[in-house]
Structure 1
Amino acid sequence: MLEGMDRRELADFLRSRRARIRPEDVGLETGPRRRTSGLRREEVARLAGMSVDYYIRLEQARGPRPSRQILGALARALRLTDAERDYLHHLAGESPQPRPGPPQDVPAGILHLLDRLDDTPAFVMDAKYDVLAWNAMAAALVPGFSLLAPRDRNPLRSFFLAPESTQIIDDSEYGRFARTCVADLRAAAARYPDDPGVAGLVAELLRGSALFTRLWSEREIAVQQSNVKVLRHPVVGPIELHCDILLVPDRDQRVVLYTAAPGTPAYEALKLLRVVGTQDLTADAAVGEQGER
């Protein structure tokens, strides 16, 4: 056995993942004579672009050590999550390949969650802070947001490239927010070293923001946590809201929720916003569109 490769564990892992995928999930017809609910070995081999004999030997724990290219093909054919893909590489004695880029597809369950939160502003961001989806209350909290071009729905661009960013003091709400965001973006850049979207955003902010440039040079790395923010709305005025972040690990995405405790001025402001801020929204602004990139 090659050092670092666990053939038996690799074989068990491939069999278990093959068994859980329905043929219709990958565009294959089931047919009346099919006896297994999962994929056949030859189907996985075809989806991965390899010989059936080679794949069978991997599942029988007697195959050669798969290359990184083969591992990537198997990960795609078996619809592995990022964590499962990393584990597959680990079993084969390989270090995981850098992820190609932050996923852009929001799970259907998360979209349904946004739609049901009719009294809570909520939106979904990817690792580079691009807003991928939002609900009606989020669009009402930030007037005109749903009309922006996709690249302009990035809070880092609007924050760091605004002329007012030059006046931000480190030990202030905005200063702490800026530091946290930069450290978080640096962590994303480490996860996606080859992604042009992340690299392009960093380069754009380095060119256009002295504040970002200074904080980026400090090389802090962190993941953004929940905090408190004051948002200024043109109709209901300033609203102090709790900003809570829920992680979607298999997509490296975040659901950002703005809430307020019952009985507070912010809570009453959100109730008012629900009436005056959403009444003129069109149907296509109720939930943010995807696939515009």
Structure 2
Amino acid sequence: VLAGTAPNRTGLHRRDVRPSILALLERLPQTAGFVMSAACEVLAWNDLAAALMEDFAPLAPEDRNLARRAFPGPQHADETLYGISDAAEFRLSVVMQLRTTLARYPCDPAVTGLVGELRDASPDFARLWERHDVQTAPMLTKTFRHSAVGEITVDCDTLTLTDRDQYLVLFSAPSGSPGADALALLNLLGPQASHYMP
């Protein structure tokens, strides 16, 4: 309890984002950032993340889930995962994240329902789930293929927000690099530029 790692007594994962984290997202104009729940739901994001990935604002909360994006059902089978270069590795990390989350929140209907849905809808998810992997190498860089600015290679940093069992994901690029220039251009274009390449 003192370390902030005790299980949530409600048995449900948290979806409310700390106000200081929301403010931090807005103070990072050259960094695309979003907050993800333990169940891979995008809970908050800044404009640059919307421009780089997609504008999450018009989506229903259940459609903001990156696990559903990684393992789309038949009705969305033609959708791509933001054109990222490491899609296979990302899918594996999603499965491992959900396995860990299910162990922490075995009675959370949002978590159990999501895992059941993905196991039924995606043979790839079901196959990876049966492997029982629980740890993956961190993804330190990522390349997006974006329709407005082409390829963007960014550094990927994930910070754990232990008090809410959430993750702050940040995409940035070294000053003067092509990635930094592409992010700056996306920053100017805004969320309406969020059409990624199939």
Task: Report the TM-score when normalising by structure 1.
Answer: 0.58
Deviation digits for residues 132-155 of structure 1 (CA, Å, limit 9, x no counterpart) = 111111111124332111110111
Q: Partner residue of 1:201?
A: 114
- Aligned equivalents of 1:257 and 1:267: distance in 2? 13
Q: Quick check: 1:104 aligned with 2:15? A: yes
Q: Quick check: 1:83 aligned with 2:4? A: yes
- Aligned equivalents of 1:238 and 1:260: distance in 2? 13
Q: Quick check: 1:266 aligned with 2:172? A: no
* Structure 1 segments of 4+ aligned residues over 6 angstroms from their partners: none
RMSD: 2.5
- Aligned equivalents of 1:186 and 1:255: distance in 2? 19
Q: Quick check: 1:225 aligned with 2:138? A: yes
More strand by share: 2
Q: Partner residue of 1:17?
A: none
- Check whether the contact 2:36–2:42 (CA below 8 A) recurs between aligned residues: yes
Deviates further, 266-275 or 219-228 = 219-228
Q: Partner residue of 2:39?
A: 128
- Aligned equivalents of 1:221 and 1:207: distance in 2? 21
Task: Return the match for 2:153 from 223, 240, 249.
Answer: 240
Aligned length: 185
CA drift at 1:83: 3.3
Deviation digits for residues 139-184 of structure 1 (CA, Å, limit 9, x no counterpart) = 111243321111101111011115369xxxxxx8222222122112
CA drift at 1:226: 4.0
Q: Partner residue of 2:77?
A: 163
CA drift at 1:98: 6.2
- Aligned equivalents of 1:252 and 1:160: distance in 2? 23
Instruction: Map 1:170-189 to 2 at 5 A.
Output: 173-189=86-102
Task: Report the TM-score when normalising by structure 2.
Answer: 0.83
Q: Which amino acid aligns with 2:163?
A: D
More helix by share: 1
Amino-acid identity (%): 42
Structure 2 residue runs without a partner (length 5+): 80-84, 194-198
Task: Return the match for 1:140 from 42, 51, 55.
Answer: 51
Structure index of larger Rg: 1
- Aligned equivalents of 1:81 and 1:101: distance in 2? 20
Q: Which amino acid aligns with 1:218?
A: R
CA drift at 1:194: 0.6
SS at the partner of 1:106?
Answer: coil
Higher relative CO (CA 8 A, sep ≥ 6), structure 1 or 2?
2
CA drift at 1:99: 5.2
- Aligned equivalents of 2:145 and 2:44: distance in 1? 22
- Aligned equivalents of 1:261 and 1:97: distance in 2? 38
Q: Partner residue of 1:60?
A: none
Structure 1 residue runs without a partner (length 5+): 1-79, 87-95, 166-171, 282-293
